[in-house]
Every structure is written in C-alpha cells, then in structure tokens.
Amino acid sequence: MNLRTVFSTFQRDLLAGTVVFLVALPLCLGIANASGVEPFAGLVSGIVGGLIVAVLSGSRLSVSGPAAGLVVIVVDGIAQLGSFSAFLLAVLLSGVIQFGFGMLKAGRFAAYVPSAVIKGMLAAIGVLLIVKQFPLALGLSGQSEPSGAHATTAMAGAITTPFGSISLAACVIALLSLAILVGWETRALRRFALVRLVPAPLAVVLLGIGATLLLGLLAPALAPPAEHRVALPPLESFAALRVALEWVDFGPHFTQLVNPDVWRVAITLAIVASLETLLSLEAVEQIDPQRRVAPPDRELKAQGIGNLIAGAIGGLPITSVIVRSSANLHAGAQSRLSAIIHGVLLLVSVFALTSVINLIPLACLAAILIFTGLKLAKPSLFVAVAKQGFAPFAPFIVTLVGVLATDLLAGIVLGILCSVLLALYANLRSPIVLAQHGDHYLLSFRKDVSFLGKVPLKHYLQQIPDGATLIVDATRADFVDHDVRELLDTFVADAPRRGIAVEVRHQVQAQARAARGWSMRRAATE
C-alpha cells in the first residue's frame, strides 16, 4: 500500500469518524438522560466504545457506545439495586460475563434465538422508549401550579394540567424535531446535498440550540429553562474530569457482590447486550458492499472489556450500535480508525463544547429517542409478523407482552419457550399417517417418532382388519422411539395369526435401494 493510498484511507476515515461523532453525541446525551443518570455517563460510554472497543474489535465498520435498547435495563436496574454505584458493579460483571461468552465461543448460539423473539424484544423496547420519553418531550413538570416570584414567568411558557405543567416551548421543539427526523428520511429531502451531509440527529440538536438562543433573546419567558436542558459541568482539564466523576463514588461498591440482584442485572445486561451486538454485526455485514465478516467471539471479548472498563469508571453499558455503524459505513469508513476518531472527538467535546452542549433542550433528545422507539415498534412490523402466520406471531407477542409486564430477560425467556413449544407441537403433530385402498393399508412415518407417537400408532393398528395387507413405511424417520418399535414388533409377530401380511420398510432398506439404483445408473453410463 503506497503513501497516497494510506492518505486517502485516512482522509475517508477522518470524515466518517466526524460524521459518526455528530450522530453519537446527541445519542449519548439522550440515552443518559433517558436512563436518569448524569450526561457524563453517556459520554464516558461513547468514549470507551470508541477508544477501547474499536481497538479490540475485529470489525472494521462497527461503532460501539450506549444503546437505546439498554435504557430499560438501566432504569429498572438502578431502581432495583437502589443506587447507580451498585448498578455500575452489574455493568462491570456483565463485561466479565461477556468476555466469558467470547472465550467459550458462544457467539454462534445467538443464531439460534428465533427472529420473532428478537423482533418482539426490540418492539417492546420501542414502546417503552416512547412511553418514558413522552413526558420529557412535553417538558412536563411535577408542579401543577407554579408559585412564588417566578409564577408569572412560568405561566407564560407553560400550560397547567392535572399531571403537571407542560412547557409550550418543549412541545414545539419536540414536534419540530420529530418533523425533521421524519423528513430527513424522505426521498424529497434526500435530493438536497445538505440533507445528505448533515445527520438527522445533528440537525435536531442544531434546531434545539438555535431555539434556545433565539427564545433567550426575543422571549426569555418561553426559552427552555436550565432544568429542561442538558447539564454538563464545564471542564478545563483532566483533573476537572476526575472531580466531575465523583458522583461515581470512586467506582462500584464491591460489597454488593453477594447481592443476587446485582448478578441478575449483570446476566440480563450480558445477554441482551451480546444479542444486540451480534445483531448489529450481522446487519452491518448485510449492508456492507464488500461483505466483510467480523469474528463474533472476538467482538464479544471486546465488548466485555469495554463494559468492564465502563462499569469501573462510571459509564453506561455498551453495545455495537447499528445507527452509528450504518452512519459510519455510509460516510465511507475504510477501517476501525473511523470509530477511534469518533471516540477522540467525543473526548475533546467534553472539554471544548460544554457550553454549547448545555444549550441543547431535553425535548430534542427525547424526540430522537421517541423516533427511535417508533422505528423499533412501527405498526408495519406487527402487520408483517402477523402475515407470516401464527408460529412466528405468537412468540413475537409473548416476548413483547413479557418484556412490558416483567423485564427484558424474562420476556426473552418466555418468547424462546413459546417458540420451543410451537416447534415441538409442529414436530409431534401427526407423525404417523394411515392410508387405505381396499384391503391394503399404508402406515407412513412422516417424521421422527417419539414416545408420544405410541398413542396414535396403537389407534391406527387397531383399525387393521384380519386378512388385510399392511405396508409400514418408515424410510423418512431417522429416529423411532423404542416403545413405538416394540408396539410395532408385537403387531408384526401377531399378524400371521390374523392372516395379515406385513411389509416394513425402514431407512436402511431405502438407503440400500438408493445405493443399488446409483450403482445401476453408474454402470449404464460407463
């Protein structure tokens, strides 16, 4: 590779990394806000995903960071464990478990999870995102009747409802943000070069910053207040960064290792994050024109180390994210250097862009996550799965309802159990068929016959009259249970007494006939 090629590759990776940074920055902040933690937690995860996971990953295009699909686990995990520090221990342990998955070469087992279960899980996450972000999009405040010196100002920009005060500015900003996100994907707007160059989340953030500045100048009463905007403390050095992370309580509480709830959350995180990562890798491989394959087990190890570090320094759990990965691919990324550049830019933004970031209204970030939820749980998905039939639709709905009613891990388990039961029912249903032509009967084993086939076999054999001819065709069954064979042998032994002629065709005979036929065809050709 000559110097010119190296420079061209670096140039394209630099551009792609910048684009991914512009996509990732609002997502990191929005996911942290949706999780109910400090904005730093989201940025820390994005930085770890870019600087650690990208270096260790075997994928050239995958970009890792905090994922919207894990928001539900984060919120429930923090509530269940009682503190963010205890949750960080679960994140750290989930990284250890993920690394163990990679060492055990468990990446291939993700392919065995039914697609209907995965779609149901993602749809449930979408519903939960919409429900949880809707109050932020409305700028909903817990105070239904503002009082004090700021009552007049608050009333000028808010509507009082039984649920609290709704901010007019937040509603308008959220609606405009959703309009931008929807319009950015339409063919009409995609014809403009500016739309193709500027990522939709960045356009939404720019809208929010512009609205904050404009309303602050022209109508301060309507401008989003500080509590409705991102609150990132200003940093001037790495020492200031360390001070800003004091809310982590100097790392997770290792005394919680004996808490079974910590391990339950860690296992849930490890399984769901691994599934989401492997799904993202598969999706990136499908849209990559060069079809570059990433080793799944190496990716699990990289994600495990990333989550271990994120948990140790106060970050949210990490996965490979399809939104950032696809943006990376479409921006022309050539290697994992683009993901590393995106991580470096996120780190720089913590020091250089704090004042700008703090102008972003939370309604903008809520709109981005609501739009993500709508894409995950779009009505067309329900229609498409329903058209596939009852077999995929049932586990899809069971997973969806299970996640909404309990939690992600329980919902996934319920969906897999539903799929297994349906598969067993399909395999056990009518494994034996009886056909009649005059006094001749054909008893066919259409598939493998377990001990459950003993009941229908006994019923069919009772229908064979004396003096009949019975052909038992078991050539299509690789396995016939001992009880079934014993019942059939008893009938064959008793057949001469009843004048019944029995011919049993099993797989060995079929293979022998096929071999003889192949030999004869070969001799004829020679």
Q: What 8-state DSSP symbol labels residue 480?
A: B
- What pTM was computed for the model? 0.73
Q: Both tokens of residue 240?
A: 């200031």
Query: b or e along 294-312 (b: 16 or more beta carbons within 10 Å of the residue's beta carbon)?
Result: bbbbebbbbbbbbbbbbbb
| pLDDT for the residue 297 | 92
Find tokens 């409705």 and name the residue.
228
Which of 38, 65, 496 minimizes the C-alpha distance to 249? 38
| pLDDT for the residue 162 | 76
31: number of Cβ within 10 Å: 30
Which of 270, 283, 272 minimizes the C-alpha distance to 59? 283
Which of 38, 109, 17, 48 minimizes the C-alpha distance to 304? 48
**How far is it, in rounded angstroms, from Cα 261 to Cα 86?**
10
526 contacts: CB under 8 Å, gap ≥ 6: none
Altogether, the residues listed in the chain come to a count of 526
Per-residue pLDDT at 145 exceeds 50: no
Query: 299, 62 in Cβ contact below 8 A?
Result: yes
Q: Both tokens of residue 521?
A: 């065809």
- Rounded to a whole number, what is the distance in angstroms from the first to the last CA of the chain? 54
93: number of Cβ within 10 Å: 23
168 contacts: CB under 8 Å, gap ≥ 6: 139, 157, 158, 159, 222
450 contacts: CB under 8 Å, gap ≥ 6: 428, 431, 479, 481, 484
| pLDDT for the residue 304 | 96
260 contacts: CB under 8 Å, gap ≥ 6: none
Q: Both tokens of residue 132?
A: 């949880």
Say whether 192 sits in a helix, a strand or coil: coil
Give per-residue pLDDT as tens, 85-118.
889 999 999 999 999 999 999 888 777 888 898 8
Cα dihedral 324, 136, 121, 179, rounded to 10, equals -60
**How far is it, in rounded angstroms, from Cα 318 to Cα 309?**
10
Query: 26, 327 in Cβ contact below 8 A?
Result: no
**How far is it, in rounded angstroms, from Cα 96 to Cα 304?**
6
**How far is it, in rounded angstroms, from Cα 221 to Cα 209?**
16
Pure H helices in 138-259: 151-156, 168-183, 187-190, 193-197, 200-218, 238-244
150: number of Cβ within 10 Å: 11
Domains of the chain: 3-143+154-419 (no CATH), 432-525 (3.30.750.24)
The whole-number average pLDDT for the span 358-368 is 90
**How far is it, in rounded angstroms, from Cα 39 to Cα 37?**
6
Say whether 456 sits in a helix, a strand or coil: helix
Q: Which of 12-21, 107-116, 152-161, 488-497 has the highest mean pLDDT?
A: 488-497
| pLDDT for the residue 176 | 94
Say whether 435 sits in a helix, a strand or coil: strand
| pLDDT for the residue 49 | 94
Query: b or e along 415-454 (b: 16 or more beta carbons within 10 Å of the residue's beta carbon)?
Result: bbebbeebeeeeeeeebbebeeeeeebebbbebebbeebb
Give per-residue pLDDT as tens, 471-516.
999 888 888 888 888 999 999 999 999 999 999 887 644 444 444 4
Phi, psi of 64 (to 5 degrees): -110, 155
- Lowest mean per-residue pLDDT among 27-41, 147-161, 175-189, 333-347: 147-161
The whole-number average pLDDT for the span 180-202 is 84
Per-residue pLDDT at 252 exceeds 60: no
Q: Please give the single-letter amino acid code of residue 277.
A: T
| Ramachandran quadrant class, 49 (left: phi over 0; alpha: psi -120 to 50; beta: rest) | alpha
Phi, psi of 309 (to 5 degrees): -70, -40
Give per-residue pLDDT as tens, 283-293.
788 778 787 88
The whole-number average pLDDT for the span 169-187 is 91
